[in-house]
Amino acid sequence: MIGLQGQCTPACKTFFRRLFFQVDLFFALQEFTSAVIHETLRFCPAVVRLAKMVQKDTILEARRFSTLADGRISDVRGVAVPIQKGGMCVVDIMGVHMNREWGIPIR
C-alpha cells in the first residue's frame, strides 16, 4: 500500500533506513555492553565459591601441577579424586577466572 502512493515512498524509505540504523546501533552497543558485563563479573564475581553436596559416589579427574618462579606451570599430572555421597565439593570461582590456563590473564 505504501508503494502505491508515490509521495510516501521517499519518506518511508528514509524512516526505515533510520529505524534499521538505530536497531543495528542498538545491537552493536548491546554486544559491547554484554562483553563489559561478562568481563566485570569475571574480574569481580558476585559469588567467589560454589559449594555443592555430592549426590552419589563419584570420581573427579583433576590435575596436580607445580608453578615455576616466573609463573609458568610445569609437571602437570592427572589425579583421580574419589568423592563419597554426602560430601561437599567446592569450586573456587576466583581461582578459575584468574587462572592463565583458562583464558586471557588480567593485567
> pLDDT-derived band of residue 82, with 50, 70 and 90 as boundaries?
very high
Alpha-carbon span 19 to 13, nearest angstrom = 10
Alpha-carbon span 21 to 90, nearest angstrom = 47
User: Residue 86's pLDDT is what?
Assistant: 93
pLDDT in tens, 37-77: 888 888 888 888 999 999 999 998 888 888 888 878 888 88
The answer, as to whether pTM is greater than 0.75, is no
- What φ, ψ does residue 74 adopt, rounded to 5°? -140, 170
Average pLDDT over residues 15-37: 75
